[in-house]
Structure 1
Amino acid sequence: MEPARRLARVARLIRDFHDAVRDFTPPSDAHWQTLIPPEGSDIIAHNDLAPWNLVVADETRWAIIDWDAAGPGSLLWDVAYAIHGFIPLSAHPDWQRPDAAERLRVFADAYGLDESDRRRLVPLLGRRTRSMHDFLRDQTAQGVQPWARLWAEGHGDAWRNDAEYIEQREDQWVHALLAG
């Protein structure tokens, strides 16, 4: 399967998940492991939609795994995190994609984001990425593992650099999402 079709497939899988949980009301005594407070709570979000949590058996069998951080969250907050990893939107030279804007459009189209959601998504891309930096920083200050180890390995810097990369290109992301 070509890369654009795989990306569209991921976006549709995420949309199917979001549609499935849209009307779900959790029990009043539900407990959640909320690592990063979401911006909003319109769905039960996965909160860690990324390539490392997607299992592909073949072209027809794909599954999202690692549900330990699932909980009340925002559809667009979940999408913003997914976009960071699946496009990817990264400052790291090995991960930068010259076609990132095109891939962003493919993802948004396949997911079915309307114009209003696309406009609201762009500023979330940087904030959601920066929230990972802030989470690692705060957990490290408290000495919490494995987060302190990840911080020491440079993951905090990577998330901060990615957030800056994304924020500096907001006009590019808006154009990609709204052109045509």
Structure 2
Amino acid sequence: MPHEEAPHEEALSGGNASGAVVRIGDTVRKPWTASTASVTAYVRALRDAGIDAPEPRGRDEGGRQVIEFVPGELAIERGPMPPDDLYRVGMMVRAIHDASAAYVVPAGSVWQSAIAAPGAELVCHNDLAPWNLVQGERWVFIDWDAAAPSTRLWDLAYAAQSFALNDTSVPPDDAARGLAALVDGYGAGTALRHGLPEAMVERTAAMHELLRRSHGTGTEPWSSMFVQGHGDHWRRVTAYVERHREIWARVLRE
């Protein structure tokens, strides 16, 4: 019989915590973990509810998870997002949260989350950020592996900070306008708007603490990330978000 060549595997860069990730044709392959079955069930439920997320396609012969490859460019590679785009991101986050609120978590579900959430209101992506948003013909959030129970406020705080307040060189009044656009797109009510400034401080501080603590214990991949610039970045961002939280509070009230 003729020898069948193995499919070409193209290594994908950009991820930090997903292990070896490759593209084969119109699919992405990444390690199958203890939480993958639970995450897959959740993502399928979101897709059934109308959320455009990468389609889970089972396991390959090597035991890896197979996921739809979504063509496009990562938002972080496009530079600062204009207010209209941030408004659209806010709408996307709200749609995900509303669909998640209707999801009944099956008994025995297993989740992996590096940062403890302050509650379990609904299952959240937990990394809704410009490094996980593909922009092309479709706008799609990818890398759902860290999905786990959390709260709207905690998840929105991370998304709002990472999309609108992640560049500490931006004057805070300018950054605040982007923050307002995203939160307006989300349609946040008074309670969320009131809680966001402090929640963003706590969420960014938690990210820096994860990296710092992991470096002390040698826990990967966070330990290496800490010395590769991520530690300094999250230290600066935490200080920026905390220093200007009165500006964030004012613009969200307005």
* TM-score exceeds 0.5: yes
User: Contact 2:123/2:147 (CA < 8 Å) preserved in 1?
Assistant: yes
Q: What residue in structure 2 maps to residue 69 of structure 1?
A: 146
Alpha-carbon displacement from aligned partner over 1:54-101 (angstroms, at most 9, x marks no partner): 11113xx1111001100100111111111111113443x3x6665111
Q: What value does the CA root-mean-square deviation take over the aligned residues?
A: 1.5
Identity of aligned residues (%): 39
Q: Which has the higher helix share?
A: 1
What residue ranges of structure 1 are gaps of 5+ in the alignment?
none
Whole-angstrom CA distance in 1 between matches of 2:99 and 2:197: 24
Q: What residue in structure 1 maps to residue 211 of structure 2?
A: 136
TM-score norm. by structure 1 comes to 0.91
User: Contact 1:47/1:71 (CA < 8 Å) preserved in 2?
Assistant: yes
Deviation at 1:154, TM superposition (A): 2.8
Q: What residue in structure 2 maps to residue 154 of structure 1?
A: 229
Deviation at 1:121, TM superposition (A): 1.2
Q: What residue in structure 1 maps to residue 155 of structure 2?
A: 78
TM-score norm. by structure 2 comes to 0.65
Whole-angstrom CA distance in 2 between matches of 1:176 and 1:136: 30
Choose 1 or 2 for highest CA Rg: 2
User: Contact 1:80/1:128 (CA < 8 Å) preserved in 2?
Assistant: yes
Q: What residue in structure 2 maps to residue 15 of structure 1?
A: 94
Q: What residue in structure 2 maps to residue 30 of structure 1?
A: 109
User: Contact 1:84/1:90 (CA < 8 Å) preserved in 2?
Assistant: no
2:190 to 112, 115, 138: 115
Whole-angstrom CA distance in 1 between matches of 2:199 and 2:172: 20
SS of structure 1 residue aligned to 2:207: helix
Q: What residue in structure 2 maps to residue 166 of structure 1?
A: 241
2:184 maps to 1:105: no
Q: Which has the higher strand share?
A: 2
Whole-angstrom CA distance in 2 between matches of 1:99 and 1:121: 18
What residue ranges of structure 2 are gaps of 5+ in the alignment?
1-80
User: Contact 1:4/1:103 (CA < 8 Å) preserved in 2?
Assistant: yes
2:114 maps to amino acid: L
Deviation at 1:112, TM superposition (A): 0.6
1:68 maps to amino acid: D
